[in-house]
Structure 1
Amino acid sequence: MRTENQMSINPVQIQGKQITIRPVRKSDKGLTLNFAATLSAESQKNQFLGGVRQLSAKDIEQICDTNFPDSMAFVATLMAEGIEREVGLARYVEDTTTGAHELAISIATEYRHSTLARTLVEYLAAYARKHRVRVLYTVDLDSNTAMRKLADDLNMSVRLDPDHTHQVIYSLNVDAHPETITL
């Protein structure tokens, strides 16, 4: 039986480029570290809820070493001059205190207005559905217009974060979301 890290994902065309979407691997640490370093200041602000920072070695380890099915990550890569380059990442992690699964998405600036984020979330939702994860949620700044558009496109529910006035919580009911990807 194949493990999740051996899953083969067919390339997709986004903005005229062939992009491969596949499960993240432990060996992707350098790739992911390079990707994180290229995120724009706005992307970092949105990703870290206003606290611009660099990812630590421990953060990279947690991203690239998933604990199936409680956590999962899909990476989007393309080949540029013979070198694999990461252009997107979507992951979920189980909150062991609540059993809920938090979603995080990072997209390279040049793909921010493409379908890449939606495609990554659809792969993640398909994986979650297959492993009986029912809801994915994300906490975002209310000023994050890219996430608001993605949430609208995916018919995610939205509510204000009761603890932080400038944050919202988006939730994706995996069972109610149309199955567009089959793994």
Structure 2
Amino acid sequence: MSTPAGTVPAVSTDAALTAATEHQLRDGSTVTLRPLQRSDADLERRFISELSAQSRRYRFLGQIGCPSDALITQLTTVDFVHDVAFVAVVAGEQGEREVGVARYSRSPDGSRCECAVAVSDEWQGQGLGTVLMQRLIAVARAQGIREMISVDAAENFAMRDLALALGFSRSADPQDACQVVHRLSLQ
């Protein structure tokens, strides 16, 4: 599935939430995107642990070392109504290996969601973040969410470039000068 940068294909909610889809990246490698499941706890733990310190800081807006059991449970408990998450996996010598993840969590009134995306350091620059975010945006639109936001470190230039390519606006976070808020209208 190939989509021009910044455009998000229309997709039914059911298909987007349940389907596993293959995507070819810029370097010719293929990843499978699928819904994150509770049984992916070990994949998620390994993925986070193998991110560089900078990538973990960008993803969690702070330093974390080895992710706790509570964090892994929180990240893999996804109801696909209030919280949605997709993983990008590749076949490895020991089974599946997670190389990227994107997720959002809805606001209490359901009108907005906050998203996050992370890609393994060695897989960055291949378009995987774009593919993950396009799927997340398509699902959010299909579920009637009106706005998607992402709070990011101001110096996270890769996220800045991704967000702008996808049509997000960017503004300073009024609560933290070291952060920015990316906003995307989904209407």
Q: TM-score normalised by the shorter chain: which range applies? A: 0.7 to 0.9
Matched with 2:100 is 88
Q: Residues 122 and 141 of structure 1: is their aligned pair in 2 closer, same or farther, counting only changes over 3 Å?
A: same
Runs of 5+ unmatched residues, structure 1: 176-183
The partner residue of 2:122 within 80, 104, 110 is 110
| Residue 99 (structure 1) shift | 5.5
Aligned pair count reads: 174
Does residue 73 in structure 1 map to residue 91 in structure 2?
no
Matched with 2:163 is 151
Aligned-partner Cα distance in 1 for 2:155–2:17: 38
- Note if contact 1:94-1:100 (Cα within 8 Å) is conserved in structure 2: yes
- Note if contact 1:5-1:24 (Cα within 8 Å) is conserved in structure 2: no
Runs of 4+ in 1 over 6 A off after TM superposition: 3-6
TM score, norm. by length of structure 1 = 0.87
Residue deviations 1:127-173 (CA, integer Å, cap 9, x gap):
11111112111111110011011011111011110011111000122
Matched with 1:25 is 37
Residue deviations 1:66-104 (CA, integer Å, cap 9, x gap):
122211001000002251000000000124388531101
Opposite residue 126 of structure 2, the aligned amino acid is: S
Does 49-58 or 136-145 show the bigger shift? 49-58
Seq. identity, %: 34
- Note if contact 1:20-1:77 (Cα within 8 Å) is conserved in structure 2: yes
1:52 alignment partner, SS class: coil
Aligned-partner Cα distance in 2 for 1:77–1:98: 29
Runs of 5+ unmatched residues, structure 2: 1-13
2:175 alignment partner, SS class: coil
1:162 alignment partner, SS class: coil
The partner residue of 2:63 within 43, 51, 64 is 51
Matched with 1:11 is 22
Aligned-partner Cα distance in 2 for 1:128–1:101: 8
TM score, norm. by length of structure 2 = 0.85
